[in-house]
Amino acid sequence: MTKFFLTASAAAIALAASAGYAAARDQIQVAGSSTVLPYAKIVAENFGETFTNFKTPVVESGGSGAGIKEFCKGVGENTIDIANSSRKIKDDEVKSCVDAGVKDIQEVKIGYDGIVFATDLNGPDWALVPEDVYKALAAQIVVDGKLVNNPNTKWNQVNPNLPDWDIAAYIPGEKHGTREVFEEKLLAEGCKSSGALEAIKAAGQDDKAAAKTCVAVRKDGKAVDIDGDYTETLARIASNKTGVGVFGLSFYENNADKLKVATVEGIVPSTETIAKGEYPVSRPLYFYVKKAHLGVVPGLKEYVDFFLDDQMVGPESPLADYGLVAAPEGERKEQREAFNAGKTM
Amino acid sequence: MTDISMDTVAGAVPRPRRDIGLKRRYAAERRFRIYGMLAISVGLIFLAIMLFSIVSKGYTAFWQTTVSLPINFDEKILDPDNKRATDPSVLISANYPKLAENALVAKLGINPDDKVTIRKLKGFLSDGARTQLRDVVAADPSVIGTTRNVDILAAANLDSAFKGQIDLNVDEARRKVSDQQVIWMKQLTTDGSMAERFNTGLFTFGASSRPETSGMGVAIIGSFYMMVIVLLLALPIGVAASIYLEEFAKKGRLTDLIEVNINNLAAVPSIVFGLLGLSVFINFLGLPRSAAFVGGLVLTLMTLPTIIIATRAALAAVPPSIRSAALGLGASKMQMVFQHILPLAAPGILTGTIIGLARALGETAPLLLIGMVAFVANYPTTPFEPATALPVQIYMWANEAERAFVERMSGAIIILLIFLMAMNITAIVLRRRFERRW
């Protein structure tokens, strides 16, 4: 028995050594944002079904930052071809890419995504403005011109029009790409519009410190960071009927029989209001293509073309059905042309 | 005897019985037994709750709603210009969903010109019908022009509604199944063409964005590859290392140090092995990402300490008399080990190996970093192609928004638990049958 295992493991090790010189990869590899993941999966699946001569691309999740980091590891067989991202690539990330030899990056914007506030289906209607969110969830707010630890415990203390519920908000954790939108479009905005930003600056903080103070979330348990996915947020709302959760628009639409959505600045979130730019809490979604891999990894160019086709990202497409907000027609055309022209960053 | 002699020594005067705390000690023992029973019942209750919640959510995943439809493989739709003899790609890109739609329209008795009503059929049948019908034609092109009964999968939302997982009392606009579709669903259920059938797809399909066409096929293959690799690498390396450490190495500071390190490694969080795998196997050795082979190597590293510890314990449990007897009869040290010690220690080694494998089978964290937590739709033909693993599939489904993935996730957990149970039972049976007590 031992002899058999020894031979077999010797064979396995030999196999491992030869794998270093394995044949060229024939499958596109994609990694990145978990928000883009469902869309990328739909496209990958349809791509594999339409182009039977190419394999279905492999799509990893793991977050925008992790995806871009893998993307920037370098050029070659064992690096990924596309990084999905729910935010624009940062300058220092581009720099680390260039340092590793990934010189030509093509940016593709696929559409928009909105984040929504939702409560239990049987609760009252909610109408929020960024100022309410800031006053309810920020770590420090300005009361009578002075910066104090957030004293609010009920929503109707924040805004008399809101219900008499204890503040319990389930918001995306700090590693989520969504968190950035939440901070930028709600907390920072609310901080500014409530005049708190001025007061904080007047109290002696410089611009950078003041911006940081604005988006700091209270840590006394009233705002709960959800590091998992929206399923967890949904479970929290199910167990705490007076909780308020933050969801992606598509997740909300898939679970509209359990959740009631809040308006922000009087606008009901929907694909239409986001596409028109009326609903304030939305963001563009991107993916980044390694130009050096085009023409090397079979099907990569076809995949990107297929992704950008109106059949996939148009207003009447499987991605739109799932919740992606299609970019306006002109913008979609621009993306296609920019990609085909080989425009790099 | 001692009592009697003591009594005689004490003489005729009966001494009062010494208080040896008998009552107190019995009470303490009773209390301890109750604590023990409580501890076990708490454990059992939690196990029961866990199993109940998984099974009650997951058993429905083993059945899938399908609609049996007489599909007319109409030549006019599939190959309107009759070019398939010269251009095979016609049959690949043909409008297969139209076939299913036509069959459904006829079955439901809808006027074929009533476009408004037909539009409401959107989302009734699975989009997987395209590949399903294409496969039928690819397998037997002579089917074109004839009519054949095909079980088409219902779309996931309809499947959930059929199983009663969507609350049909809420407002129509708030749910994914329209009132009209519910009426059609009931119509098809009464005439028997819509029914739940055993979900073989759960075991054979790869990953998919549509719940009804997603399955664990790729994950099962990936896990299988990894288990084979772990077994082939970890068992011989682990056994060889422990034999050397236990039987040949001089006991000293160095072996102590090695032992401490092995015990430490067994307790290292598994994600650390993933990091190691990423930097050594993928970045340095240039092995492919997402491949089951790299996953197997990482899990081998993770399982090795467990196997070494179990093997060393098994070797140490073989009584020294066996060693002395073998050596006394003139066996060399190596003959002693391989002909006498190892066979006697084998049940213990196998038990440890199987338990190590079971742990490796349930591991997700180290696979995250080497790219195996991924959407993989194609079957891997070799361990060097992208694959996923059973627990990874569970994790991926847990992140999905659609209702139908919840039952699939629980169904997948049931499958994983069955695999784990089978492995652990094998370990127990092996130990019972072959273990020798000294």
Instruction: Please judge whether B286 and A78 are an interchain contact, meaning their C-beta atoms are less than 8 angstroms apart.
Output: yes
Pairing mode, strands A58-60 and A29-32: parallel
What is chain B's Cα-based Rg? 32
Give domain limits for chain B. Answer: 62-199, 218-434
Of B117, B128, B77, B127, which is closest to residue B99 (Cα–Cα)? B77
- Evaluate whether A112 touches A284 at the Cβ level (below 8 Å): yes
Residue A70 forms part of a structural domain: yes
Instruction: Please judge whether B399 and A34 are an interchain contact, meaning their C-beta atoms are less than 8 angstroms apart.
Output: yes
Pairing mode, strands A127-128 and B194-198: unpaired
Contacts of B130 in chain A (CB under 8 A): 49
Residue A257 forms part of a structural domain: yes
Same domain? For A273 and A332 the reply is no
d(CA A49, CA A22): 26
Tens-binned pLDDT, residue by residue, of chain B (438 aa): 445 554 455 456 677 777 788 899 999 999 999 999 999 999 999 999 999 999 998 999 999 999 999 998 888 888 888 888 888 778 888 888 888 988 999 888 888 888 888 888 888 899 888 888 988 888 888 888 889 899 999 998 899 899 888 888 887 777 888 888 899 999 999 988 898 999 999 999 999 989 999 999 999 999 999 999 999 999 999 999 999 999 998 888 999 999 999 999 999 999 999 999 999 998 888 888 889 999 999 999 999 999 999 999 999 999 999 999 999 999 999 999 999 999 999 989 999 999 999 999 999 999 988 989 999 999 999 999 999 999 999 998 988 878 889 899 999 999 999 999 999 999 889 888 887 776
Question: What is the CA angle B67-B71-B76, rounded to 5?
Answer: 145
Q: Which residue of A has its CA nearest to B90?
A: A50
CA distance B235 to chain A (A): 8
Cα–Cα distances (Å) from B279 to A27, A78, A100, B287, in that order, read: 22, 12, 15, 11
The domain boundary, picked from A235, A252, A282, lies at A282
d(CA B94, CA B90): 6
Q: Which two tokens stand for residue B112?
A: 């074929």
Looking at the 3D structure of chain A, how many domains does it have? Answer: 2
Print the domain residue range for A194. Answer: 114-282
Phi, psi of A164 (to 5 degrees): -85, 60
Residue A1 forms part of a structural domain: no
Q: What is the pLDDT of residues A233-282, one digit of tens each?
A: 888 898 898 999 998 887 888 888 888 999 998 899 888 888 788 888 88
Same domain? For A49 and A179 the reply is no
Pairing mode, strands A169-172 and A223-226: parallel
Tell me, which fold does domain B218-434 have in CATH? MetI-like fold (1.10.3720)
Same domain? For A153 and A253 the reply is yes
Phi, psi of B152 (to 5 degrees): -90, 135
d(CA B355, CA B426): 10
Whether B299 contacts chain A with CB within 8 A: no
Whether B131 contacts chain A with CB within 8 A: yes
Q: Which residue of A has its CA nearest to B171?
A: A257
Contacts of B208 in chain A (CB under 8 A): 45
Of A40, A27, A58, A306, which is closest to residue B206 (Cα–Cα)? A58
Whether B78 contacts chain A with CB within 8 A: no
Same domain? For A209 and A316 the reply is no
d(CA B322, CA B341): 8
Residue A173 forms part of a structural domain: yes
d(CA B309, CA B326): 25
Chain A, chain B: beta-carbon pairs less than 8 Å apart: 132
In chain A, which ranges are E strands?
29-32, 58-60, 82-85, 105-120, 127-128, 140-143, 146-149, 169-172, 223-226, 244-248, 259-261, 263-264, 282-290
d(CA B413, CA B428): 22
Same domain? For A137 and A260 the reply is yes
Residues 6+ apart with CB under 8 A from A252: A116, A118, A259, A261, A269
Q: Which residue of A has its CA nearest to B397?
A: A231
Same domain? For A100 and A186 the reply is no
d(CA A288, CA A82): 5
Same domain? For A267 and A303 the reply is no
CA distance A15 to chain B (A): 10
Phi, psi of A277 (to 5 degrees): 80, 15
| Helix axes of A37-50 and A300-308: crossing angle, nearest 10 degrees | 110
Residue A256 forms part of a structural domain: yes
Same domain? For A33 and A123 the reply is no
H helix intervals, B140-194: 156-162, 179-190
The domain boundary, picked from A282, A298, A314, lies at A282
For residue A303, is pLDDT > 50? yes
The domain boundary, picked from A263, A282, A301, lies at A282
Same domain? For A108 and A217 the reply is no
d(CA B370, CA B348): 32
- What was the pLDDT predicted at B2? 47
CATH number of the domain to which A230 belongs: 3.40.190.10
Same domain? For A129 and A276 the reply is yes
Residue A16 forms part of a structural domain: no
Same domain? For A120 and A216 the reply is yes
Burial group, residue A260, by CB count within 10 angstroms (0-12, 13-18, 19+): middle
Q: Which residues numbered 303-332 in A keep a CB inside 8 Å of some CB on B? A: 318
Same domain? For A137 and A217 the reply is yes
Interface confidence: ipTM more than 0.85: no
